[in-house]
């Protein structure tokens, strides 16, 4: 066979052409630079699998030097930030259910009296263990602490209490996921991740495809209204979203035995808002993207921080403040709290409310952008 | 059938239509009057504003200035009503390639909210001669058939006016001829057409023409009127060494254009006397010279070359 020789000139012509096209496609170029940067920042700075400074509530029924010492020692361990002071056991329960705190420490009424009598009182540490990886290290730290912390206060005649065994019992209760099964955390969260992924990509594509193929022009020359086009294109995908959700819920129940403590109808209802939020993102992207490839790139650009900063893969509270602030803006973050709250904690509408309004706000902002952009692209 | 008791006896009657994109004026102060049942040809070079004008007529774009009526309706304010009575066929095939022929027609019929939808789709399929191919995906059709499907889809809601944007681009001559045959039949039945095209044979099959370049209307009327208004004198030269001759002729004042047509040259100018004086030295150089009637194409090329391109 007489194979033509490899021509450097022809090869170079193609290389050159690719670079020219790459430069013209601004969005692709931005993504090529932007995505690695985002990954670098997120993985390098934001993600921390050994979260510290976890918000902790203290209910000190016994206000004694000992309990103050314990509280002080917890804070010094750098794992606990004492953000709340509770005044009843019920308050502790609410704070944990709403996810306001990760831990709650209860010093019982007779703590110091029993301690001095050598009766080994109980100190209660409750943890929100929906995400087992968020609490593991902190719990290990606290059990170390218990043996040594109080020794300093046991001076003079009390020195006899400095036994090898700790002078009090540390009781830890892992709420919501006592066996630290990570599937309990991951599988319900997967509903949110899947919906984010498909809803954004599919709606982003659905509208850019009409424009790319020229069918949008034809559509708009008929009596159909732009609103009818958008809503009509979205509704089928809302149904698709619910099919996906049903599949994950069935798998969660029957394959992974995730407990369903709260109301599934409530979850289905609240999911609607989340689906709308993602569709709003998809539509906004489709008004910005010039072609389908750009729509996919934008979807990926949104998906990446959603996955990493929402608390799905890594503990939310392990992240630095700026990363948490970004996370708070993402609908997935709030939806994960809702799903885990309903399924694992048995939360009702009241406990979900603090995570509902941020999603609603997000929808309003996104739709405002989408509508503004849509008008411009028509003319 | 409608309350078209409008003051205007025209299907399209617009004045002063202007559209700007940024600082570029794409359509400038355009007037157009099209009679009912007329096939009106709309010509002009690429990027001259033809498509933009069609889009304004059917309400896809808002004009910056202008007034008038389309099918007796205010074309700026009643575009929703106009859309129901107008069929617009885009330059690019813009139906769904992943739907079948029948599904495409059914979709369009639903968008127009047709009362007897099924019957309309059947009728349309029958007229297309596609009854037995109804389940074929539109994407698998050849260029000529795609164009026929597009026309059928534009007709399904029984519009009174059809706006066709380069309907025959990339279609073979036989299919093009059939297409024009159908258009003439529809026009005879009372339908009005506004058709953009680049083909001179198609232009000469229109009842009347308008020629637009760089947003300005340059000529309009019947083919004969347009040719006459062009005021062009044309000589045809046949014989040997035409390429060399063309080079010489182009340098002469009075000769405004020299265009090769196969084995002949068309030499034209607007000043007949000046042209004659310029070519006299060549009349006896062995080629055959004959004065002919200027064609549409000669006129259009002349119009195009004497109009400054205000975009560059």
Overall average pLDDT of the A67-88 stretch: 84
CA–CA gap between residue A300 and residue A32 (Å, rounded): 12
Dump pLDDT digits (tens) for B96-133: 999 999 999 999 999 998 889 999 999 999 988 888 88
Q: Does residue B7 surpass a pLDDT of 60? A: no
Q: What is the nearest CA distance from A222 to chain B, expressed in angstroms?
A: 6
Q: Does residue A80 surpass a pLDDT of 90? A: no
Dump pLDDT digits (tens) for A171-228: 888 888 887 788 888 888 889 998 998 889 888 888 888 888 888 888 888 888 877 8
Q: Does residue A28 surpass a pLDDT of 60? A: yes
Core vs surface per residue B186-220: b (16+ CB within 10 A) or e: bbeeebbbbbbbebbebbbbbbbbbbbbbbbbbbb
Q: What is the nearest CA distance from B37 to chain A, expressed in angstroms?
A: 22
What are the percentages of helix, strand and coil residues in chain B, rounded to 5?
A: 35, 25, 35
Pairwise CB contact (< 8 Å): A221 & B113: no
Mean pLDDT (chain B, rounded): 87
Confidence band, pLDDT 50/70/90 cuts, at residue B18: very high
Q: Shortest CB distance from A222 goes to which of B61, B83, B92?
A: B83
Do domains B12-226 and B233-293 share one topology? The answer is no
CA–CA gap between residue B174 and residue B180 (Å, rounded): 10
CA–CA gap between residue A150 and residue A167 (Å, rounded): 8
Return the structure tokens found at A222.
Answer: 């008929």
Overall average pLDDT of the A218-241 stretch: 84
Assign domain B12-226 one CATH number from 3.20.20.370, 3.40.50.300, 3.60.150.10, 3.40.50.10800: 3.40.50.300
Instruction: Report the residue of B24, B64, B90 to disrupt the A interface, i.e. the one with the largest count of A CBs within 10 Å.
Output: B90
Nearest one of A286, A296, A290 to A369, comparing CA atoms? A286
Q: Least CA distance to B79: which residue of chain A?
A: A223
Q: What is the nearest CA distance from B67 to chain A, expressed in angstroms?
A: 19
Contacts 24+ apart (CB under 8 A), A39-46: A39/A304, A42/A304, A42/A305, A42/A308, A42/A309, A42/A323, A43/A308, A45/A320, A45/A323, A46/A308, A46/A309, A46/A319, A46/A320, A46/A323
Dump pLDDT digits (tens) for A105-126: 888 888 888 888 878 888 888 8
Instruction: Report the residue of B60, B108, B109 to disrupt the A interface, i.e. the one with the largest count of A CBs within 10 Å.
Output: B60
Q: Which CATH architecture has domain B233-293?
A: 2-Layer Sandwich (3.30)
Instruction: Report the residue of B51, B98, B111, B164 to disrupt the A interface, i.e. the one with the largest count of A CBs within 10 Å.
Output: B111
How many CB atoms within 10 Å of residue A142? 23
What are the sequence ranges of the domains in chain B? 12-226, 233-293
Pairwise CB contact (< 8 Å): B94 & A215: yes
CA–CA gap between residue A15 and residue B90 (Å, rounded): 36
Core vs surface per residue A96-114: b (16+ CB within 10 A) or e: bbbbebbbbbbbbeebbeb
pLDDT at A374: 66
pLDDT at A158: 67
Q: Least CA distance to A212: which residue of chain B?
A: B94
Q: Does residue B1 surpass a pLDDT of 50? A: no
CA–CA gap between residue B135 and residue B23 (Å, rounded): 48
User: Which range, A8-22, A33-47, A171-185, B96-110, is most confident?
Assistant: B96-110
- For B239, the 3-state DSSP assignment is coil
Q: Does residue A165 surpass a pLDDT of 70? A: no
pLDDT at A235: 86
Contact list in B for residue A217 (CB cut-off 8 A) is 55, 60, 90, 94
- For B222, the 3-state DSSP assignment is coil
Overall average pLDDT of the B168-194 stretch: 90
Dump pLDDT digits (tens) for B139-148: 999 888 898 8
Overall average pLDDT of the B172-196 stretch: 92
- What is the full DSSP assignment across A237-291? HHHHHHHHHHHHHHHHHHTS-----S-HHHHHHHHHHHHHHHHHHHHHHHHH-SS
For residue B62, what are the contacts with CB-CB under 8 A and spacing of at least 6? Answer: A379, B56, B76
Pairwise CB contact (< 8 Å): A218 & B90: yes
pLDDT at A1: 57
- For B181, the 3-state DSSP assignment is helix
CA–CA gap between residue B58 and residue B31 (Å, rounded): 16
CA–CA gap between residue A198 and residue A249 (Å, rounded): 17
Of residues A238 and A145, more confidence is placed in: A238
Q: What backbone phi and psi angles, to 5 degrees, belong to A175? A: -80, 155
Domains of chain A: 54-175 (3.40.1710.10), 182-378 (no CATH)
Of residues B1 and B27, more confidence is placed in: B27
Q: Does residue B5 surpass a pLDDT of 50? A: no
- For B28, the 3-state DSSP assignment is strand
Q: Shortest CB distance from B84 goes to which of A217, A223, A379?
A: A223
Dmax over Cα atoms in chain A, in whole Å? Answer: 102
Q: Does B156 touch chain A (CB under 8 A)?
A: no
pLDDT at A172: 84
In A92-164, where do the E strands start and end?
103-107, 122-128
Q: Does B111 touch chain A (CB under 8 A)?
A: yes
CA–CA gap between residue A112 and residue B247 (Å, rounded): 113
Contact list in B for residue A220 (CB cut-off 8 A) is 60
Confidence band, pLDDT 50/70/90 cuts, at residue A356: very high
Confidence band, pLDDT 50/70/90 cuts, at residue A375: low
Q: Shortest CB distance from B94 goes to which of A217, A378, A379?
A: A217
Q: Shortest CB distance from A218 goes to which of B86, B95, B113?
A: B95
Q: Does B93 touch chain A (CB under 8 A)?
A: yes
pLDDT at A272: 93
Confirm whether the ipTM is greater than 0.85: no
Confidence band, pLDDT 50/70/90 cuts, at residue A288: confident
Q: Least CA distance to A225: which residue of chain B?
A: B80
Pairwise CB contact (< 8 Å): A217 & B111: no
Place of tokens 């047709």: B114
Confidence band, pLDDT 50/70/90 cuts, at residue A369: confident
Q: What is the nearest CA distance from B160 to chain A, expressed in angstroms?
A: 14
CA–CA gap between residue B78 and residue B6 (Å, rounded): 14
pLDDT at A157: 67
CA–CA gap between residue A187 and residue A259 (Å, rounded): 11
Of residues B3 and A252, more confidence is placed in: A252
Taking any CB pair shorter than 8 Å as contact, residues of chain A touching chain B are 213-215, 217-224, 378-379
Pairwise CB contact (< 8 Å): B92 & A222: no
Confidence band, pLDDT 50/70/90 cuts, at residue A161: low
Q: Does residue B2 surpass a pLDDT of 70? A: no
Instruction: Report the residue of A206, A217, A225, A378 to disrupt the B interface, i.e. the one with the largest count of B CBs within 10 Å.
Output: A217
pLDDT at A213: 85
pLDDT at B129: 85
Dihedral sign for Cα atoms in the order B6, B57, B85, B45: positive
Dump pLDDT digits (tens) for A304-351: 889 888 988 888 888 888 889 999 999 999 999 999 899 988 888 988
Residues pairing with B292 in the sheet: B234
Overall average pLDDT of the A66-77 stretch: 82
Of residues A290 and A266, more confidence is placed in: A266
pTM over 0.80: no
Q: What is the nearest CA distance from B113 to chain A, expressed in angstroms?
A: 9
Q: Least CA distance to B112: which residue of chain A?
A: A223
Confidence band, pLDDT 50/70/90 cuts, at residue A362: very high
Contact list in A for residue B108 (CB cut-off 8 A) is 222
Overall average pLDDT of the B244-254 stretch: 86
Q: What is the DSSP letter of A67?
A: H
pLDDT at B109: 93
Instruction: Report the residue of A222, A233, A375, A378 to disrupt the B interface, i.e. the one with the largest count of B CBs within 10 Å.
Output: A222
What is the enclosing helix (H) or strand (E) of B161?
Answer: strand B161-165
Overall average pLDDT of the B288-300 stretch: 86
Contact list in A for residue B78 (CB cut-off 8 A) is none
């Amino acid at each position: 066979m007489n194979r033509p020789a490899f021509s450097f000139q022809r090869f170079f012509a193609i290389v050159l052409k690719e670079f020219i096209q790459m430069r013209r496609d601004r969005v692709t170029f931005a993504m090529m630079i932007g995505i690695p940067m985002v990954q670098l920042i997120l993985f390098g700075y934001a993600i921390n699998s050994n979260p510290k400074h976890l918000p902790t509530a203290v209910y000190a029924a016994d206000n004694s030097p000992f309990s103050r010492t314990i509280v002080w020692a917890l804070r010094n361990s750098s794992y606990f930030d004492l953000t709340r002071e509770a005044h009843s056991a019920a308050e502790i329960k609410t704070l944990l259910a709403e996810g306001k705190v990760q831990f709650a420490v209860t010093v019982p009424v007779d703590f110091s009296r029993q301690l001095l009598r050598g009766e080994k009182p109980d100190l209660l540490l409750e943890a929100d263990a929906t995400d087992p990886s968020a609490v593991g290290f902190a719990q290990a730290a606290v059990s170390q602490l218990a043996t040594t912390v109080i020794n300093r206060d046991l001076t003079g005649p009390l020195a006899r209490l400095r036994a090898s065994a700790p002078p009090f019992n540390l009781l830890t209760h892992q709420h919501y996921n006592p066996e630290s099964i990570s599937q309990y955390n991951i599988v319900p969260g997967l509903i949110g991740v899947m919906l984010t992924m498909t809803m954004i990509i599919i709606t982003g594509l659905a509208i850019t495809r009409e424009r790319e193929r020229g069918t949008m022009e034809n559509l708009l020359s008929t009596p159909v209204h732009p609103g009818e086009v958008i809503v009509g294109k979205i509704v089928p995908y809302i149904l698709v979203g619910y099919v996906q959700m049903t599949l994950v819920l069935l798998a969660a129940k029957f394959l992974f035995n995730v407990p369903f403590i709260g109301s599934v109808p409530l979850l289905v209802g609240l999911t609607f808002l989340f689906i709308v939020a993602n569709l709003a993102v998809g539509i906004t992207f489709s008004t910005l993207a010039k072609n389908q490839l750009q729509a996919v790139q934008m979807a990926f650009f949104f998906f990446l921080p959603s996955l990493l900063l929402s608390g799905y893969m890594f503990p939310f509270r392990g992240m630095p403040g700026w990363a948490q602030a970004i996370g708070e803006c993402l609908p997935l973050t709030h939806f994960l709290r809702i799903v885990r709250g309903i399924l694992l904690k048995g939360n009702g509408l009241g406990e979900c409310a603090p995570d509902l309004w941020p999603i609603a706000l997000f929808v309003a902002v996104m739709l405002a952008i989408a509508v503004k952009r849509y008008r411009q692209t028509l003319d | 059938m409608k309350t078209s008791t409008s003051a205007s006896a025209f299907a399209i009657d617009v004045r002063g239509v202007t559209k700007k994109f940024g600082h570029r004026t794409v359509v400038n102060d355009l007037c157009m009057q099209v009679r009912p049942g007329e096939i009106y040809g709309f010509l002009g070079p690429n990027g001259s504003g033809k498509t933009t004008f069609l889009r304004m007529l059917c309400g896809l774009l808002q004009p910056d200035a202008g007034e008038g009526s389309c099918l007796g309706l205010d074309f700026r304010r009643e575009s929703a009503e106009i859309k129901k009575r107008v069929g617009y066929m885009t330059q690019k095939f813009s139906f769904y390639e992943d739907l079948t022929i029948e599904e495409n027609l059914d979709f369009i019929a639903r968008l127009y909210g047709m009362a007897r939808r099924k019957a309309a789709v059947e009728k349309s399929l029958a007229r297309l001669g596609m009854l037995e191919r109804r389940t074929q995906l539109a994407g698998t059709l050849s260029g000529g058939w795609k164009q026929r499907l597009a026309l059928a889809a534009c007709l399904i809601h029984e519009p009174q006016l059809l706006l066709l944007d380069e309907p025959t681009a990339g279609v073979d001559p036989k299919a093009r001829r059939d297409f024009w045959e159908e258009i003439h039949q529809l026009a005879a039945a009372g339908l009005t057409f506004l058709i953009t095209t680049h083909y001179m044979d198609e232009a000469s099959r229109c009842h009347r023409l308008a020629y637009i370049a760089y947003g300005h209307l340059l000529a309009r009327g019947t083919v004969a009127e347009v040719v006459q208004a062009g005021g062009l004198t044309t000589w045809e030269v046949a014989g040997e060494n035409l390429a060399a001759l063309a080079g010489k002729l182009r340098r002469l004042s009075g000769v405004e254009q020299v265009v090769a047509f196969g084995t002949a040259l068309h030499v034209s100018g607007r000043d007949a006397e000046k042209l004659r004086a310029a070519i006299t030295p060549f009349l006896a150089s062995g080629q055959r010279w004959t004065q002919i009637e200027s064609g549409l194409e000669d006129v259009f090329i002349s119009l195009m070359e004497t109009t400054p391109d205000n975009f560059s």
